[in-house]
Structure 1
């Protein structure tokens, strides 16, 4: 049995088990509007939000009513490429991509506040204990718990594909994909923020049900700890590296 109430704020690691984080959607869209002046439309009835870059070459589309569960699409023209993310993709990794989109267009305002990773996928994997395997031209990176994979297939239309599932459980499946012409640095940005050691904050009730009960998820309180909650989480990780404290 858990000691957390559904409304309790908690810190969760690893990030790929934390679910979407619906209460933090603004971190993915807000900076493009307020800092970079992207045009946007919003339907208050459906939540559908569409953003267009000032040069009208790049689009971000958020649609929580998509019947296939693809809530996020980033679309670029000339060259055409697309990135898409399903509902439970952690918002921190999505926001890491959307916030650097202006830099991909040459707009480096606020670059010091929104850094773009310089690490390759392989370098990030080594630093975060993700295993790397090769099969011909295909390279796969797998999280230490085996629940999340990133596959790079250079000859496929979907050149980079990230998949997650906790024992094929309901509401733990999510996926992300980048098509062939997508900038590799955006994929590296997504991966760096997906694999980061820093825990993410969620409402306990918003976590996927199986993640709440998985020994692979470390879940600690935001309020009520005797020390800073991030310090508490780090100490708990040291004592229980593959599970949450009981």
Structure 2
């Protein structure tokens, strides 16, 4: 199979190694177009802000430095805030923002936007993440969800590939953040289903640890090839004789 070029579409797993992706519309679009939240776009800076109809909840996307928050989701009363860094996978963030209207008692489109029903530990277990004490870690050890109850920051997600350049990202959950949003985030982060990216979107150092399959070039289809690549290799019976 031909090796993909930088602009080729690929499937990537695990998701925490895939980089942020390019589906910004999945994070903000439903709030604006389906739920009619007010929004403001500043083309010069790329900043986009979205506000709930009742003025209680805000989503702020501000492209900035590598180590600074790019995303802020906050609620006034009770106070809580979620911040996330540049390479945070957009699938996990979209799962959070799309759930916001339901938490504000807007039941429209709830059938199209299901909420995660399992607990955090159950989500981790079914996706082969391991729990040790108050931390939950991905199977490859590169991503960890820290739970620190009774603190101002009860949940923190950190991910990096040996602290390599442009592989580090974080998501911080502060104040009285609803557990439903933590479950949404983890369910769409820890999922074993691959996500689609251009190869250029995948941080360079992450490519050595991630499983990457070209979207084109195989008669079996990319999802089948990607799934087969996860299977353990079998010994050659001819060589075992």
Return the offset for 1:96.
Answer: 0.5
Aligned to 1:42: 41
Counterpart for residue 237 of structure 2:
none
Check conservation: 2:66, 2:86, Cα contact below 8 A: no
Contact persistence 1:40–1:51 (CA under 8 A): yes
Q: How much has 1:67 moved relative to structure 2?
A: 7.4
Give the alignment's TM-score, normalised by structure 2: 0.93
Q: For residues 120-131 of structure 1, what are the structure 2 equivalents within 5 Å?
A: 120-131=119-130
Question: 2:6 matched to which residue of 1?
Answer: 6
- Aligned residue pairs total 232
Corresponding residue of 2:104:
105
Instruction: Tell whether 2:25 aligns with 1:26.
Output: yes
Match of 1:100, SS state, is: helix
Higher RCO (C-alpha 8 Å, min separation 6): 2
- CA offset at residue 66 of structure 1? 5.5
State yes or no: 1:87 paired with 2:86.
yes
Question: Per-residue displacement from partner, 1:47-91 (whole Å, max 9, x unpaired)?
Answer: 100000001100000000257521000010111100011000000
State the alpha-carbon separation in 2 of the partners of residues 97 and 192 from structure 1. 10
1:167 aligns with 2:162: yes
Check conservation: 2:67, 2:86, Cα contact below 8 A.
Answer: no
Shift of 1:231: 1.8
Q: Which residue of 1 aligns with 2:238?
A: none
Distance 1:54 1:27 in 2: 19
Deviations 1:97-127 (A, max 9, x none): 0011000101011111111000111101110
**In the alignment, what sits opposite 1:179?**
174
Q: What's the counterpart of residue 239 of structure 2?
A: none
Partner of 1:17: 17
Structural RMSD (CA): 1.3
SS, match of residue 107 in structure 1: coil
Paired residues of 2:72 and 2:84 also in contact (CA < 8 A)? yes
Aligned counterpart for 1:231 among listed residues 206, 224, 230: 224
Could you tell me which runs of 5 or more consecutive residues in structure 2 were left unpaired when the two chains were aligned: 234-241
Q: Contact 1:10–1:222 at 8 Å: present in 2 too?
A: yes
Match in the other structure for 1:152:
147
**Alignment partners' CA distance in 2, 1:168 and 1:102:** 36
- For 1:28 and 1:231, the matched residues in 2 are separated by 28
Q: Secondary structure at the match of 2:231?
A: helix
Q: 1:201, 1:238 → 2: CA distance? A: 20
8 Å Cα contact 2:41/2:48 also seen in 1 = yes
Aligned partners of 2:114, 2:232: CA distance in 1, in Å?
32
Unaligned runs of 5+ in 1: 241-246
Counterpart position of 1:194? 189
Match of 1:244? none
- TM-score after normalising by structure 1: 0.91
